[in-house]
Structure 1
Amino acid sequence: MSTLNRFSDAFVKVTFQEEPRHGDPMAEPWHELGSQKHQGTVVAMTHALKEKYPGYSLVATQDFRLNLLNFPMTAIEPLSPSDLVTNLVFIPLAKNSSDTPGVLAQSVQYGGFKISWQSYDFIFYTVIYPMGFGQYQQHFILHDGPKDPAHAMLLAAGIFADQLHNEIWVFNQGYWDKDRGLWNEIQKATWDDVILEDDFKEAVKKDIYGFFESEKLYKEYALPWKRGIIFHGPPGNGKTITIKTIMKQADMLGYTPMYVKSFKSWMGDEGSMAAVFGKARQNSPCLVVLEDLDALINDSNRSFFLNELDGINGNDGILVIGTTNHFDRLDPGLSTRPSRFDRKYLYDDPNRAARRLYVRYWQDKLAHNKDLGFPESLAEEVADTTDRFSFAYLKEVFVSSLVTTLQQRQDGHDVSFASSIRKEIETLRKQLDKPESLNVKDAAAPAPAATVVPTSGPEGEFAALLRALRMGTAEDGVEPNSAWAKLVRGFTGARPTGAISTVPLDKF
């Protein structure tokens, strides 16, 4: 299937006849309204629509989640393609997932459409107009009958927009986004790739899944059904891969995973925290992941965070997992007080037994390649000579050695896998043994967060561009106490992801 054919699935399917039987009666009134020096857009459009469609019920909404052009359960046809007002946009595609560098689409600034949903027919208008320092989008739904069918359709559209479809809720810059890329990334994670001692791994799994399965037990003994867990220890020892695996399993079991990148936003840390926990309560039972707790929580926002964590608002069914490379930097209110984070797991540099377990993992991965040569004697040697190596360092030993060996052999050199491993261990040991004064920068650097790759495929690129386009709707420079800010806070931080309606270029 070609890239353009696959990309077409990302858009609303719009069909129309070459010569529409009926023109758009609102095109001229909208043109006149847009030409005025002073506008009362919603009032003027409502009045004009009632004049043009006497006897029709009218429902108006500015809710970004109720954009029917993004609702796949409808059939849509423009009233008059020639009367549509659109803006052309370029959508770049990822090189590794597309045969073409990008495609063109059009955002609808003004449009009238016929919409069919279930057994009902509607007239739908969507307009984008300037107000203040930004733009707003307004939708109007007309029906030849009562308002109830329109309300039912909008309810279905809202429910669909709030559901996850192979996506993960990710909070960043003050908004919740549905991230397909992160969902794809965590699908690669399995417990087999989490190299920990069996007792440790089973304890983690029991704490996580036992919490979700024990609702009745908590209720029976009148215990608050909530929990906090901290994974801590030096970077590169499995915290992130454990988090990815837990998120994947939670999603498969029906418990919503939610990932927080940062509390920094246009509405301040406290506004972001309220949005995060508000959304978590809405999606309970759920898993909330806070990576790098020591960076997320500081002196200015700690009190509010603790209030959200165990204050008067109930957090029934919410499991919070926090990670940190610097447990000593956490406030005692987080690190030691029970009822907040009551379980702590130390992901320390692996001991000899854990290193041998990790070497076995690589022996199994490379067992199919008999030319490499990975005898037990080499496995024991690696485990013995890698003291103080983190799992990340151990991984680098095998990845770099494997690449070096294969490249050298392709160049005609007779290089053994064992010699490459020994050389790589020696190189990494020198880095590890550098004086601390040379490693101050590295030691102070925050731990790498879970990798979130860009969404692959045309649909992901399309969604990413739309998010950028929609940010023209009064996000830049928005005042925290503006009506827009209050509206968004009312939606628990959800980003207005339906603000610009887009359709394929070849439809008009």
Structure 2
Amino acid sequence: MAAQHENNEPFILITREEDFTRPSAASSAGKDPLSGPWAERGSAKFEDAIGFGARKLRELYPKHTVIPFTYGINLLSFPKAYMQPISPPEMIANAVFVPLARKMGQSAGVLVDNVRFGAFSVAWQNYDYILYVMQYLHGAFETTQHFLLHEGPEEVARALLHAAGLWTNDLHEEIYVFDSGYWSKDANLWTEVQKADWEDVILEDGFKKNLQKDVFGFFDSEELYKSLAIPWKRGIIMFGPPGNGKTISMKAIMKDADAKGYAPLYVKSFRSWKGEEGAMVDVFSHARRMAPCVVVLEDLDSLINPGNRSFFLNQLDGLESNDGLLVIGTTNHLENIDPALRDRPSRFDRKFLFDNPTRGDRILYVQYWQNKLKSNKSIEFPDSLVEEVADATTDFSFAFLKEVFVSTLVILAGYNDGDDKPTFKEELNKQITALKKQLDHSPKNEIRPGQGELPGAWVRNPAQLPQFSERGHLDLRAVNQPRIYSTDPGLGRAQHPLMPGELAAPGDGSSEQTTRDGRDMRSRALAAAALGRSFLF
């Protein structure tokens, strides 16, 4: 490079390549002579953001331990640690509005600050830390990188990360759901499952007890299985026409299993970007890690097809150990399931038929509604009506029986005072007649309540509908809402998964946004608002 010397005489500066590769004084202090040259030559600086960040932080905080981390640890959501931004003016964050269910009120939504760069002071137990969070483009996708700093031994920092990692991977009123090739944690499904109650499952008592015994007796029999030198695994198929209690029974099983510490794992579909075989590997690998657990395969005949059947059988009954796995499948069409899967005892060795209710079952179900409505003084429900309804509903499924009562009650509720309102019995018989016509004109086992020409229900008086007016003032709940910080680059748009086949959930364009550790964004925003935390994500 040409330059001017002090005496204004021209000269040429020659630089040798080893001048760039010679270890610097800082790097020479260590024992590895390759560390410095590799950082200079191999990191490319702009590409190796992790290497640059770690080296720069060690330079800025020479007395601190610096630990980079990414997958499986969501420190910002760890409830046992207190966090505060070090310098809010220097933080870079995108404000994202996360809508919540409208039933929660007029302010059904929260603002989340999606952190692209920021530093937080962290307190956990009796220790202080510094957390750096940064997002950057890596290839076609954005990556979130964290650095945890502690002025002291590395073990103290690793202890915090270990505790946060355990918490991140635990279930917190959630159920694991596998869909589109990924495991995610679903708080909404957990909430729905909690509504199930065996008292609402109107089946013969002996049938219910046998089902419960087969499910939970399995988990209590580990030592028995081992003493007999047989694998501690089991498969159950619940089959029969639609609308006869398979789903609500499954929900009740999932609720009880969760309460007893046996995680329910719900498989929606084996469709995946890596193919159905790859999805099955992910499903059973995760199930083996979670064992003892319940694997739920709803609509088994649609999940298993000729293309994936052999691989599924290999996962279910192959060389790998499935100890502690209880696999429960449901189907409306048992005859469509391959005999190799259906009839071999080591695969699905127990089958429970959920058939259309007998007359005795129908009497039990009508009595169930009679008991529910006994406090309603406007409804006359004598014992004689119980047997009349049971006799008039031959071949009705439980779903059709439920529709009889639901439609009757909703239609009666739509009448105004002074209208020529039919009696409960009259409207009940009218709904039974309508459903019989639908039943007679539909293929057996293929109809569901709500299809066809079933009379609908509506609110007759528009004045009963809630009226909303324009509000020109600020909602103080929104103004005073504490900050919620997130490190999810996928907020509001499709995102790339962190660990394919593991716990991250990809954006699919739906309104149900999911965070990168698989938790439902809405449920986490709710939790933030409820706890008053500023940093939950």
What is the TM-score with the length of structure 2 in the denominator? 0.77
Q: Secondary structure at the match of 2:491?
A: helix
Quote the Cα distance in structure 2 between the aligned partners of 1:135 and 1:466.
10
Label 1:441 to 1:372 Cα distance change in 2 as closer, same or farther (>3 A): closer
Once the two structures are superposed, residues 163-201 of structure 1 have per-residue CA deviations (whole angstroms, 9 ceiling, x without a partner) of 111111111112222211111111111111101112211
Q: Post-superposition shift, 1:79?
A: 2.2
Q: Post-superposition shift, 1:367?
A: 1.6
Q: Secondary structure at the match of 1:148?
A: helix
Q: Post-superposition shift, 1:134?
A: 0.6
Label 1:209 to 1:38 Cα distance change in 2 as closer, same or farther (>3 A): closer
1:497 aligns with 2:516: yes
Q: Post-superposition shift, 1:492?
A: 6.7
Counterpart residue number, 1:254:
261
Quote the Cα distance in structure 2 between the aligned partners of 1:357 and 1:463.
52
Aligned AA for 1:49? L
Q: Is the 1:174–1:493 Cα contact (8 Å) retained in structure 2? A: no
Aligned length: 445
Q: Post-superposition shift, 1:370?
A: 3.6
Quote the Cα distance in structure 2 between the aligned partners of 1:158 and 1:406.
52
Residue 491 of structure 2, aligned match among 469, 472, 475: 469
Residue 188 of structure 1, aligned match among 192, 195, 205: 195
Aligned AA for 2:51? V
Q: Secondary structure at the match of 1:415?
A: coil
Quote the Cα distance in structure 2 between the aligned partners of 1:343 and 1:39.
56
Q: Post-superposition shift, 1:55?
A: 2.9
1:488 aligns with 2:500: yes
Residue 359 of structure 1, aligned match among 351, 366, 369: 366
Q: Post-superposition shift, 1:47?
A: 1.9
Residue 57 of structure 2, aligned match among 42, 49, 64: 49
Q: Secondary structure at the match of 1:392?
A: helix
Q: Post-superposition shift, 1:471?
A: 6.7
Query: Which structure: greater helix fraction?
Result: 1
Label 1:463 to 1:275 Cα distance change in 2 as closer, same or farther (>3 A): farther
Once the two structures are superposed, residues 30-73 of structure 1 have per-residue CA deviations (whole angstroms, 9 ceiling, x without a partner) of xxxxxx9943211221221121111322111121x213112111
Aligned AA for 2:68? A
Tell which deviates more after alignment, 166-175 or 96-105.
96-105
Once the two structures are superposed, residues 274-299 of structure 1 have per-residue CA deviations (whole angstroms, 9 ceiling, x without a partner) of 11111211111111111000111111
Counterpart residue number, 1:378:
385
Q: Secondary structure at the match of 1:108?
A: strand
Counterpart residue number, 1:325:
332
Aligned AA for 2:500? V
Q: Is the 1:70–1:498 Cα contact (8 Å) retained in structure 2? A: no
Label 1:204 to 1:108 Cα distance change in 2 as closer, same or farther (>3 A): same
Q: Secondary structure at the match of 1:164?
A: coil
Quote the Cα distance in structure 1 between the aligned partners of 2:163 and 2:291.
21
1:159 aligns with 2:155: no
Counterpart residue number, 2:70:
62
Counterpart residue number, 1:339:
346
Quote the Cα distance in structure 2 between the aligned partners of 1:180 and 1:464.
18
Counterpart residue number, 1:8:
none
Counterpart residue number, 1:179:
186
Q: Post-superposition shift, 1:111?
A: 0.8
Q: Is the 2:485–2:534 Cα contact (8 Å) retained in structure 1? A: no
Q: Post-superposition shift, 1:498?
A: 4.3
Q: Secondary structure at the match of 1:103?
A: strand
Question: Which structure 2 residues correspond to residues 326-475 of structure 1 after superposition, within 5 A?
Answer: 326-408=333-415, 410-434=417-441, 436=443, 469=491, 472-475=494-497
Label 1:283 to 1:93 Cα distance change in 2 as closer, same or farther (>3 A): same
1:73 aligns with 2:80: yes
Quote the Cα distance in structure 2 between the aligned partners of 1:235 and 1:176.
28
Counterpart residue number, 2:212:
205
Counterpart residue number, 1:143:
150
How many percent identity over aligned positions?
Answer: 49
Q: Post-superposition shift, 1:405?
A: 2.6
Q: Post-superposition shift, 1:259?
A: 1.0
Quote the Cα distance in structure 2 between the aligned partners of 1:180 and 1:198.
31
Quote the Cα distance in structure 2 between the aligned partners of 1:409 and 1:122.
65
Tell which deviates more after alignment, 151-160 or 347-356.
347-356
Q: Secondary structure at the match of 1:77?
A: strand
Label 1:104 to 1:464 Cα distance change in 2 as closer, same or farther (>3 A): closer
Q: Secondary structure at the match of 2:286?
A: helix
Q: Post-superposition shift, 1:397?
A: 0.5
Q: Post-superposition shift, 1:506?
A: 12
Label 1:408 to 1:66 Cα distance change in 2 as closer, same or farther (>3 A): same
Once the two structures are superposed, residues 404-432 of structure 1 have per-residue CA deviations (whole angstroms, 9 ceiling, x without a partner) of 23333645324111111111010000101
Quote the Cα distance in structure 2 between the aligned partners of 1:231 and 1:81.
56
Once the two structures are superposed, residues 314-358 of structure 1 have per-residue CA deviations (whole angstroms, 9 ceiling, x without a partner) of 111111110001111111121111110001111111121111111
Quote the Cα distance in structure 2 between the aligned partners of 1:52 and 1:155.
25
For the aligned residue pairs, the C-alpha RMSD in angstroms reads 3.1
Aligned AA for 1:138? Q
Quote the Cα distance in structure 2 between the aligned partners of 1:464 and 1:411.
56
1:231 aligns with 2:253: no
Q: Which is bigger in relative contact order (C-alpha 8 A, separation at least 6)? A: 1
